[in-house]
Chains A and B, each alone.
Chain A
Amino acid sequence: MMPTVMIRRTDTGALTFYVAKKDLEETVVSVETDTEGAWGGEVALADGSRFYVEPISPPPRFPTTVRCRRL
């Protein structure tokens, strides 16, 4: 599955993962690569599911829409 995901920053500053087709709106708990140079890699969500996002360099301005792979 290669869902298209919109990642946005909430009012509290946390990142959320939003998949419109799946009604999935979930907080991101960890990102593998989150540096000044790149953003991406393995993304873990609060519900325990994990996705892989091809690292984006330089880091995107949120919100942004990316393709990801379920792990």
Chain B
Amino acid sequence: MTRDDTKALIDEVLEVYPAKAKKDRAKHLAVGDPDAEQSKKCVTANRKSVPGMMTIRGCAYAGSKGVVWGPVKDMIHISHGPVGCGQYSRAGRRNYYTGDTGVNVFGTMNFTSDFQERDVVFGGDKKLDKILDEINTLFPLAKGISVQSECPIGLIGDDIEAVSKKKAKQLGKPVVPVRCEGFRGVSQSLGHHIANDTLRDWVLSNRDGDTSFETTPYDVAIIGDYNIGGDAWASRILLEEMGLRVVAQWSGDGTLSEMELTSKVKLNLLHCYRSMNYISRHMEEKYGIPWLEYNFFGPTKIAESLRRIAERFDDTIKENAERVIARYQPMCDAVIAKYRPRLEGRRVMLYVGGLRPRHVIGAYEDLGMEVVGTGYEFAHNDDYDRTISELGSTTLIYDDVTGYEFERFAERLRPDLIGSGIKEKYIFQKMGIPFRQMHSWDYSGPYHGYDGFAIFARDMDMTINNPCWSKLTAPWQRPAAAA
């Protein structure tokens, strides 16, 4: 495909829309332009989805409870409101953790205030008060409690802040009210921001002035790694092999006390820029802790990132970084030697959130594959600024893609692999296109780090080269007699 072909494809797909919708959607679709310094000239992001367009986005509650707060394992996160929001998202994200669930960690459990009509009519503050007591009695080892608001809380005007403050005093542990009602904002992105702000206001400064924590010059924190399928562990070991000390993981396999200690580190390592840049910027301003974005997908990007991280430390760390890279090189060479011949030249379309639409491009390129289309569910323009330099001049960019557009793009581009979420998975599989669920690594992982790359390569191979695809014809494409 040439640049003009891609442009023509966009026009063709937009053709079916009414004039107003067409004008709106045209701003969200673009062709990659590696020369562009800024994304806002070609793509608009972080705007309200048009009703009826079948967006794939989530809500603010998903961004706060599901993404940022949920993985903090030794706290109990109450889904405050009706039962569904918490129940249907329970344990779906696969943020792994260690500990005894239900005793000292609570990651995969669902706590909800189970709102009934009565609570909506008369207010749910008394109920919240009561369940905070119940939680403290039943789970005395919980280090803290967060109250994750669902839509009705904001609509009926409950004062969860007052209840939280009162109970925090009574129970002697942090109770954090989070105003992440689902209707706020245009996507889960605002939920990340709200969650970051509550972490800043209720957690981060808890140990200011407490110097009992012994620091070292090599203290770092992993920010924005949610340990999906063990990602943060696969990243952490590389940093530790380099001689750094990882004080905190935000927030995959993270604990409350780790987060409280983060203000003591020397450098924040930021993996998911979208969901945690807010807290990194805050720590830089308040505590003078610099932050550094890195990418642990695929050997090329890992080596680049390890060197960039080592740059911030002394020569010992720099030498260690080279040693780590050299140590894993033979393993990566073997992985590439095995899988590259099977994957060379295959074309990939991505549509995910957060950091993956740009971060995994390097890993695919290490395997000889090409990303022909990419887009974010909930990115802002600063994410696209970071993306366009990774793309070729013909790559299709789609922001907040609609169900219809995504299907048409896939039909026309016929990629060898699509990486997106669970809602998209079966549609594309029925179209006969190999698919990986790239939000939770399709029940596999980790994909971060050198160990993760081996798993990533294996997974892509077993999906793309699975013999089932040649046997699959969509029902509407079958000859009439056979149907």
Contact = CB atoms under 8 A, between A and B. Distances in A.
B385 A25 contact: yes
A47 B285 contact: no
Given A23-B380, A23-B381, A47 B281 contact: no
B382 interface: yes
Nearest to B193: A20
B284 interface: yes
Interface string B92-134: 0000000000000000000000000000000000000000000
Nearest to A61: B288
A55 to B, nearest CB: 20
Given A8-B284, A11-B292, 10 more contacts: A18-B281, A23-B45, A23-B380, A23-B381, A25-B381, A25-B382, A25-B385, A46-B37, A63-B281, A64-B285
B353 to A, nearest CB: 16
Interface in A35-62: 46-47, 61
**Which 3 residue pairs across A and B have the least CB separation, nearest first?**
A23-B380, A63-B285, A25-B382
A20 B336 CA distance: 40
A6 interface: yes
Interface in B14-56: 37-38, 45-46
Interface residues of A, number: 13
A65 interface: yes
Contacts of A20: 193, 278
Contact of A23 (B37, B46, B281, B284): B46
Interface in B270-293: 278, 281, 284-285, 288, 292
A64 B380 CA distance: 22
Contacts of B385: 25
Nearest to B285: A63
A29 B38 CA distance: 15
Nearest to A64: B285
A15 to B, nearest CB: 14
12 contacts: A6-B281, A6-B285, A8-B284, A20-B193, A20-B278, A23-B45, A23-B381, A25-B381, A46-B37, A63-B281, A63-B285, A64-B285
B382 A65 contact: no
Contacts of B382: 23, 25
A20 B200 CA distance: 15
B45 A63 contact: no
Nearest to A20: B278
A65 B285 CA distance: 8
Contacts of A18: 281
A54 to B, nearest CB: 18
A63 B284 contact: yes
Interface in B374-410: 380-382, 385
Contacts of B38: 47
A23 B381 CA distance: 6
Interface string B284-314: 1100100010000000000000000000000
Contacts of B284: 8, 63
A58 B65 CA distance: 42
Contacts of A25: 381-382, 385
A23 B45 CA distance: 9
Q: Which among B45, B281, B385 has the greatest number of chain A C-beta atoms within 10 A? A: B281
